[in-house]
Structure 1
């Protein structure tokens, strides 16, 4: 049996029980009301008869006679006539008048006159009124007994007893029961209709799922949401977020996304429009993270329920790709360096074999000061750190192919060795590549200048280009979906297109911040400054001291 059917039957049984209980209570109250009304009517009639002056006078006279008059005389007496008239006018079963000894002076049955009443009259003779249900010669009735006082006295000389028969008391009960039954039937019908409506509503809200299925659904939901590394966001048909797992909240940097919209997550309008249209978006930057978003509509039984958005954090993957590019650049540089170094060693060996020792010595000194390869890197002699020299040398080769000159500024001073090669290569390579792209957009001098300074374990990088600079009001670290080729007026550093996603600066900034450092815009450049943009980076814990360098001598030379 389906759960909704069980609920319907339970509701019907509840309604029936409530209606039956209410009906019984109403019937009991109605019977009690009818009894009270009969007793009250009997009491009021008895009081009226007992208070009649003629009745008081006649009963007092009869009470003074030592012998009771015969029944025939009483039947023709005024008390009998008065009692019969009162009984007929009020509809009472009987109106009985007695003396102080309980002898009947008036009674509906003339044969019972001058006889002792069948019920107690002692309380009335004590001056108290009595209302009770009793059985007498005329059957069970609701009766009231009221003392009759002598004229001008408080001494009881008799009593008046008025009664209504049981059948007459409950004459109105069938009519009341009819109304009660109709009301109960109406309540049952209303309860049935309400139960059916509630059942339909329940099935609509739960999409026809039973409680057992709902339990399994909740278990599966918890397993899916909390058991996967991807973020999951569920939206209703109005685009309001109704559910999100912890991974999605962490990616967007919020505690709870419920009742928010996609626009509230700082997503661009075009990204929101694509997701609403069911189009996946890759390379979206939000909260300093590079994410992939995929939207899928959800329906059940032809009823649209909304959509589910899967959020994948691609930051680490993109950072790894950046590092891989840096490794490739280093591999290419080392391959060129090895080939060139081998050639120079052959030259040095030839000079030695030819006995030209002076020339061989000068040649080797030149190799030591300028490096094993002739890079098109201006100021290469300012860098003695092997990795930085080789990496920037390789970058200078790439820049030279694009018509850009890469130069090391004289302020450069690096005494230690690079310990975290991948992070330095990623940040430095990204800044240099962006600067080269910006310099290519320049119609005049195409120049990129790099300044490197180390302080203990920190490396500070400053990269300047001769490009057009950053567009005023633009955020160079924000994702820029448009291409640079449209007007050539924006800095390449603003619209970084590494891998076509425009997220290189964002990745570099995120990587530096993870290490406790930073990447920032030093100067936006532009037409007013007549120079390109200048970016700076500070990377802690990436350098280690070089044991072969006497730092004290270097400091004295600087002084």
Structure 2
């Protein structure tokens, strides 16, 4: 780049120098021609010259050299040469005979250059070569004093040495200016080179081109969103995935804090704490945030080169599917564990029954089985689900009841529950119901005795409506119950709406065309919170309707 700039400056200076020299030479030539023409006009207008030339032209004979040697015209021409510095002043008659000439031996001879133009009454200016060499000469007609008819000519010439005697000074000035221009261009080129090196971190144009190509390939090739911003918080790089996840197409050129995004997302992008007492969060400890219908993890990494802060790169990873699958796996694991416990308990009861029967105590075995059946039907027992018959919902609620019982919370199915259809979208139903029940159980743990959770389920065609209420302390902040702030299991008033559970179930319901809402916030002096959900399209009619139902 430096050599290219210096070459460009050198060519420009050379061209300008050539133009200035050419213009200067032309000006000197024009000045010499103008001076020669002015002197020739002055001499030709002299009355003595006009009279002498007219007399010589009227004489039929040819004047001799001796008669012209010290004649009045020769004296006048010699005086004019001395006063003007001209190379020569030649006066001729109408036949081109020299009446005055710097060389005495040439007097009375015909001039060596053309004189017809002057006799025709026209003035000429040109550069010609004659007996005295090349010169800038002007030829002016000498007119008869009585008739004004051209009767001769006056030719005045300036030698090139006298014409261009100021040329060295001109060339010196042009050379000095050209050198100063070259020096200035070199200095500016060095300054530009250093600035470019500072801006490009020392990378050459080829390296920058390769870097841009590689960056475009990497940004378009990764599946995660990539967003970079400088120390001034202005976004400089953003791939299409980042624009899609953030829902903003024109990210580049905008400040991070000016983006229309939720507060937790801005905090995650900038690495700032979401709570005043918290310190700056590290990139490795990123928390999930809900962004529109996505659950994303945002990791930030500061970038520097040569101890210079270049800004921050934020990697936005869409983990919606992973979180959803994780919740589903947790639900399946809970159901599996509940079934394992039930299988173990059932095996124990079978052993007791078999032992009584082997001992011949059949009536005692019968009484034992009756007690087991009564305990299963008793409200407040291990699971009071006599109002629920749908297999999937029954197993899910039963599993959650087992887990709630381990935490000292009684989970029951409300008496108004009625589900006649069959669940056709178990994954979505499990995600919503399990999250609402888990939150309710956690809230009930912090509530006063007795600790309970009631689940009511109703279906209407293909829509399932669920209500989950608890005995906790209620929702402290209704406005942030569905926000994605950071989880805290310490504050009992912040059980609901601490994490991504409620935002996730609301997104699942919204995707199905339904909703999740807070029906009752509860609070001091009353019961706990009540959450409701409506999930369209998750139910279907049973393959074999129960007796009494329409087919």
| TM-score higher than 0.5 | yes
After superposition, the Cα gap between the structure-2 partners of 1:485 and 1:422, relative to the gap in structure 1 and judged at 3 Å, is: same
After superposition, the Cα gap between the structure-2 partners of 1:527 and 1:85, relative to the gap in structure 1 and judged at 3 Å, is: farther
Q: Equivalent of 1:492, from 492, 495, 513? A: 495
Indicate the SS of the match to 1:510.
Answer: helix
Q: For the residues of structure 2 that align with 1:277 and 1:467, how far apart are their CA atoms? A: 32
Indicate the SS of the match to 1:331.
Answer: helix
The alpha-carbon deviation at position 46 of structure 1 amounts to 1.1
The alpha-carbon deviation at position 159 of structure 1 amounts to 1.1
Indicate the SS of the match to 1:280.
Answer: helix
- Within a 5 Å distance, the mapping from 1:288-299 to structure 2 comes to 288=292, 289-299=294-304
Q: For the residues of structure 1 that align with 2:231 and 2:109, how far apart are their CA atoms? A: 93
After superposition, the Cα gap between the structure-2 partners of 1:209 and 1:292, relative to the gap in structure 1 and judged at 3 Å, is: same
The alpha-carbon deviation at position 460 of structure 1 amounts to 1.8
Q: For the residues of structure 2 that align with 1:453 and 1:370, how far apart are their CA atoms? A: 26
Q: Deviations over 1:36-82 (max 9, x none)?
A: 11111111111122223333233223322333544444344332232
CA RMSD of aligned residues (A): 3.5
Q: Provide the residue aligned with 1:406 in structure 2.
A: 411
The alpha-carbon deviation at position 543 of structure 1 amounts to 2.2
Q: Equivalent of 1:35, from 8, 29, 36? A: 29
Q: For the residues of structure 2 that align with 1:403 and 1:130, how far apart are their CA atoms? A: 126
Residue 118 (1) aligns with residue 112 (2): yes
Q: Provide the residue aligned with 1:200 in structure 2.
A: 194
- Within a 5 Å distance, the mapping from 1:515-526 to structure 2 comes to 515-526=512-523
Using the size of structure 1 for normalisation, the TM-score is 0.84
After superposition, the Cα gap between the structure-2 partners of 1:100 and 1:251, relative to the gap in structure 1 and judged at 3 Å, is: same
- Are the equivalent residues in 2 in contact too, given 1:249–1:255 (CA < 8 A)? yes
Q: For the residues of structure 2 that align with 1:412 and 1:372, how far apart are their CA atoms? A: 16
The alpha-carbon deviation at position 124 of structure 1 amounts to 0.6
- Are the equivalent residues in 1 in contact too, given 2:375–2:381 (CA < 8 A)? no
Q: Equivalent of 1:334, from 336, 339, 346? A: 339
Q: Provide the residue aligned with 1:535 in structure 2.
A: 531
Q: Provide the residue aligned with 2:39 in structure 1.
A: 45
Q: For the residues of structure 2 that align with 1:211 and 1:33, how far apart are their CA atoms? A: 46
Unaligned residue ranges in structure 2 (runs of 5+): 274-279
- Within a 5 Å distance, the mapping from 1:435-454 to structure 2 comes to 435-443=440-448, 446-454=451-459
Q: For the residues of structure 1 that align with 2:79 and 2:378, how far apart are their CA atoms? A: 145
Q: For the residues of structure 1 that align with 2:452 and 2:9, how far apart are their CA atoms? A: 89
Q: Deviations over 1:155-208 (max 9, x none)?
A: 111111111112211111111111122122222222322333333233333323
Q: For the residues of structure 2 that align with 1:71 and 1:541, how far apart are their CA atoms? A: 133
Q: For the residues of structure 2 that align with 1:533 and 1:22, how far apart are their CA atoms? A: 87
- Are the equivalent residues in 1 in contact too, given 2:481–2:496 (CA < 8 A)? yes
Q: Equivalent of 1:163, from 157, 161, 182? A: 157
Q: Provide the residue aligned with 2:60 in structure 1.
A: 66
Q: Provide the residue aligned with 2:291 in structure 1.
A: 287
- Are the equivalent residues in 1 in contact too, given 2:378–2:384 (CA < 8 A)? no
